[in-house]
Each structure stands twice: as C-alpha cells, then as structure tokens.
Amino acid sequence: MEVMKGSLEWINRCKLFILDIDGTFYLSGKPFNGSKLFYETLLKTGRKLVFLTNNSNRSINSYLEEFRELGFELTREQIVTAGIATAEYLFEEFGPKRVYVVGTEEIKDEFRRVGHILVEDEPEIVVVTFDLTLTYEKIKKATIFVSRGALFVVTNPDLNCPSIDGPLPDAGAIASVIRKASGVYPNIVFGKPEPKLIDMIIRRHALSPNETCVVGDRIYTDILAGIRSGTFTVLVLTGEATAEDGLHGPVKPHLIVQDIGILAKFIS
C-alpha cells in the first residue's frame, strides 16, 4: 500500500464516500473480501455511501435487487448510473426528443420512463451505451443517423468493462467504431471523468468537496472525476489500475490501497 502525505488525516474528515462498483466493490457481481467490512464501517461511523457507476446498461432497480441478494440494503438515492443520468440530463436540456438508443431493453425502458420518444428511424439524438445486445444493425443505424446530423451522445467514455472473463467492450469502444465509420465526433460524453455526476451527488447531500471521498479502480475515470470535482481520491488495486499507474502516471490519487477492506481500517 502507498500513502500520500496527509491522506489519513483527510480521510477521516470525509462524510460522504462515492464508490465505483465493478472493479471496486465487486467483480462481475462477486463482492471483494473487504467489501462487507467497508460497508459496515461506514454504517457504524455514520458516513454516507453512494455508488456511482459508468455502467449504462442497467436500471437502478436491478442494482438494488442485486445488492439485496448480496446482503447489502441500499436505497434508490444510493445508486447513480451514467446511463440514467444521461437520460435525465438530455430531457432537462432538450425536452422530449426522438431518440435512438444503442442499448439494452432495460436501459431503453429508463429513457422512456424519463419521457424520451424512442425511435428506430429519423432520430434527433443518438445515444450510445454499454450494450450487451449489440449488433451490426445497431452500429449501422447509429452511424447513418449521426452522419445525417443527429446529436451524438455517449453515456460514458470507458473503452472496456472489467469482468471475470476479461475486459468487455464498453460504450467508449462502441462509440469509437461509430465515430470512425461516420467521421463524426460525439457532441456529448457523459459519465466519469466528467465532474457533473459527482457535483450533483455532493449537492444532494448538502456537503462540500473537501468532505467527500471518491473511490475507484480506474485513474482516467474515477480518480480524474474526483480530482476535477475537488474531492479526496482513493485508488484501489482490485480492478484496472496498478500501483505503478497511480504513483507515476499524470493523474495521481491521494491514496492507494489494495482494496476497500484496507481502506476501512483507516476510517474511524
């Protein structure tokens, strides 16, 4: 474990912990050994926990059910996803528009719930998500639509999503294919490392960035988002990044630990 100067003093000033899910709290639905200890430590010390994920193919209810089955009771307010936040942001900014979603039926239902009009032709907006049901037909349609002038939106910039089997192509990789085929760059990329979601969570809890800690396994999304929002940042080594990345890369977390179970031992 590596500790940057002043990190341990700062961490106990944090009242809100914003955690990534895959690669940080669990991997492919299996919690890491220290996850229960971390969860119980925050409960015992009266701190707030919010999960923030760039995963854009699932509903909040599916996460709540999954966590409940794993033994963790959460509320809707404790789950924030890039996919649903994108749907809400687009509706707030543009109102009800004709939208073509490259995504699962589950995330499409969330877009409908927000108030969008989902279409298969002549959309005003194309939204690319982490689509586990991706087909060539979807890529073809999205490419044609953005080349004709539809707003090109990507829910999150991640190139891959960690899994037990290995990395899976994520929204950033899918969007890259469409960008290269169409020659059109995305107009909006949501999710981490953009600070919008973290800023929103902090405001909801009436706290400040220096009372907030962002924890994640990816430097270019989780850690960078926290730094851009002015929060304390912790890199865990249970996902994508290595200690070498955190120590010698251009973006440096305030603290590096093996897992969130180790982090829990410093919270009192």
Residues 188, 194, 199, 202, Cα dihedral to 10°? 130
Q: Is 22 annotated as a binding residue?
A: yes
**Is there a contact between 245 and 218 (Cβ–Cβ < 8 Å)?**
no
| Catalytic residue (choose from 22, 158, 170, 222) | 22
Taking CA 160 as the corner, what is the angle to CA 155 and CA 162, rounded to the nearest 5 degrees? 115
How many alpha carbons lie under 13 Å from residue 239 in its C-beta half-sphere?
32
Strand 160-161 with 168-169, pairing: antiparallel
Q: Is 217 annotated as a binding residue?
A: yes
Q: Is 158 annotated as a binding residue?
A: no
> 214: which strand partners?
18, 233
Cα 89 to Cα 178: distance, rounded to the nearest angstrom: 22
Helical pair 82-94 and 105-114, crossing angle rounded to 10 deg:
30
HEC assignment per residue over 156-210 = CCCCEECCCCCCEECHHHHHHHHHHHHCCCCCEECCCCCCHHHHHHHHHCCCCHH
For this structure, is 22 an active site residue?
yes
Q: Is 259 annotated as a binding residue?
A: no
Cα 151 to Cα 126: distance, rounded to the nearest angstrom: 6
For this structure, is 20 an active site residue?
yes
Strand 48-53 with 98-102, pairing: unpaired
Known catalytic residues are 20, 22
Q: Which residues fall in the annotated binding site?
A: 20, 22, 192, 217
Q: Which residues fall in the annotated binding site for substrate?
A: 192
Q: Which residues fall in the annotated binding site for Mg(2+)?
A: 20, 22, 217
